[in-house]
């Protein structure tokens, strides 16, 4: 079976194979959290900031985009307007954001005004990390994909690609959470190495720098990969795919409890919490393949 994999889905399987099953095999809808939607909003503003002439890329101009971009998102997905009508929608500023968790289930409510204020602070914080008037990104929100020798297709969206006059490539990703502790850095860098591997195979040049910009606390994580790093990343991805294939063939999707369970939409059907997963399709041929699912998804690890 030939399939495809994005950094998001690879991260799901590494976090919890059962979570991967719920999202890819069962395709169970999930309600977006305020933190996730705020990440989408901030990304939209920073993407469009570079549409402006160089001299107009100011913090004031970026802040002026917030409300119009929020209105655009709601117009495209009206259900987002419900985020602030239910009591108990979390404030999205939890420590779970640092490791990829959402803010579902956070105590207390949050008004739309407070939510937008958090987004404003993140946009303002971006300007303390770099001056967009001194940059001219080569690509923004770029979709990339490549096929490994095994037939596995790697795909994903990169927030920004910068190319120096020398040809050196920098991959930039915006995160609206806080910078991870040292023991979580490897997972954050895996996503970036995934992208670097794809670009290396597409363009024949190892990216010079991987840069994660954490707008939750104003820190930057930088890493300079080499060919050995990217070859090791490819081996890890291939091994991960073999594990996914085994799970699909056997129907055994193990749950892996962690502190991220507190923000999972699927606790009600997880054995760890007394739930029962829905039955798998009777015939393997009837099950959707990751290739079918991934091709229709716009994945991004905003947090």
Mean pLDDT of 155-162: 97
Banded pLDDT at 298 (limits 50, 70, 90): very low
* pLDDT the model gives residue 98: 34
Determine contact, residues 25/289, Cβ cutoff 8 Å.
no
Mean pLDDT of 153-180: 96
Determine contact, residues 59/42, Cβ cutoff 8 Å.
no
* pLDDT the model gives residue 109: 66
CATH topology of domain 141-243: Lambda Exonuclease; Chain A (3.90.320)
Mean pLDDT of 42-46: 98
**Which helix (H) or strand (E) segment is 64 a member of?**
helix 59-76
Mean pLDDT of 276-299: 57
Which of the listed ranges 106-115, 240-249, 292-301 does the model predict with the highest average pLDDT?
240-249
Banded pLDDT at 48 (limits 50, 70, 90): very high
Banded pLDDT at 184 (limits 50, 70, 90): confident
Determine contact, residues 244/220, Cβ cutoff 8 Å.
no
**Which helix (H) or strand (E) segment is 190 a member of?**
helix 182-203
Determine contact, residues 303/102, Cβ cutoff 8 Å.
yes
User: What residues does 146 pair with on adjacent strands?
Assistant: 154
What is the distance between the alpha carbons of residues 198 and 6, in angstroms, rounded to a whole number? 11
What is the distance between the alpha carbons of residues 26 and 22, in angstroms, rounded to a whole number? 5
Instruction: State the chain's mean pLDDT as an integer.
Output: 86
Determine contact, residues 198/158, Cβ cutoff 8 Å.
no
Give the predicted TM-score (pTM) of the model: 0.85
First-residue to last-residue Cα distance in the chain: 32
Banded pLDDT at 282 (limits 50, 70, 90): low
Tokens encoding 184: 């979580």
Closest CA to 16 of 269, 231, 196, 194: 269
Mean pLDDT of 286-294: 48
Q: Which of 77-86, 92-101, 149-158, 237-246 has the lowest mean pLDDT?
A: 92-101
What tens digit of pLDDT does each residue of 197-252 get? Answer: 999 999 999 999 999 999 999 999 999 999 999 999 999 999 999 999 999 999 99
Owner of token pair 């080569």: 138
Domain boundary assignment for the chain: 34-134, 141-243
Banded pLDDT at 185 (limits 50, 70, 90): confident
- pLDDT higher than threshold 90 for residue 287: no
């Amino acid at each position: 079976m030939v399939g495809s994999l994005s950094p998001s889905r690879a991260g799901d399987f590494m976090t919890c194979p059962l979570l991967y099953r719920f999202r890819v095999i069962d395709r169970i809808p999930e309600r977006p959290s305020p933190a996730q939607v705020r990440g989408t909003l901030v990304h939209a503003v920073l993407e469009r900031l570079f549409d402006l002439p160089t001299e107009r890329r100011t913090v004031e101009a970026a802040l002026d985009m917030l409300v119009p971009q929020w209105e655009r998102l709601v117009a495209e997905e009206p259900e987002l307007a419900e985020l602030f009508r239910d009591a108990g929608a979390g404030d999205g500023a939890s420590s779970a954001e640092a490791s990829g968790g959402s803010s579902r289930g956070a105590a207390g409510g949050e008004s739309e005004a407070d939510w937008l204020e958090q987004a404003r602070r993140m946009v303002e914080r971006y300007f303390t990390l770099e001056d967009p008037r001194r940059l001219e990104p080569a690509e923004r929100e770029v979709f990339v994909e490549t096929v490994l020798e095994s037939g596995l297709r790697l795909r994903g969206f990169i927030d920004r690609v910068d190319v120096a006059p020398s040809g050196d490539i920098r991959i930039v990703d915006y995160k609206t959470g806080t910078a991870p502790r040292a023991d979580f850095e490897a997972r954050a860098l895996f996503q970036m190495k995934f992208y670097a591997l794809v670009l290396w195979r597409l363009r024949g040049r190892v990216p010079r720098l991987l840069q994660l910009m954490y707008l939750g606390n104003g820190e930057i994580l930088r890493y300079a990969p080499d060919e050995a790093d990217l070859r090791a990343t490819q081996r890890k991805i291939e091994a991960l795919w073999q594990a996914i294939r085994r799970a699909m063939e056997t129907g055994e999707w193990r749950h892996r409890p962690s502190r991220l369970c507190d923000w999972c939409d699927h606790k009600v059907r997880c054995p760890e919490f007394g739930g029962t997963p829905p039955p798998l399709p009777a015939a393997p041929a009837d099950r959707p393949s990751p290739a079918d699912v991934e091709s229709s998804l716009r994945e991004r690890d905003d947090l």
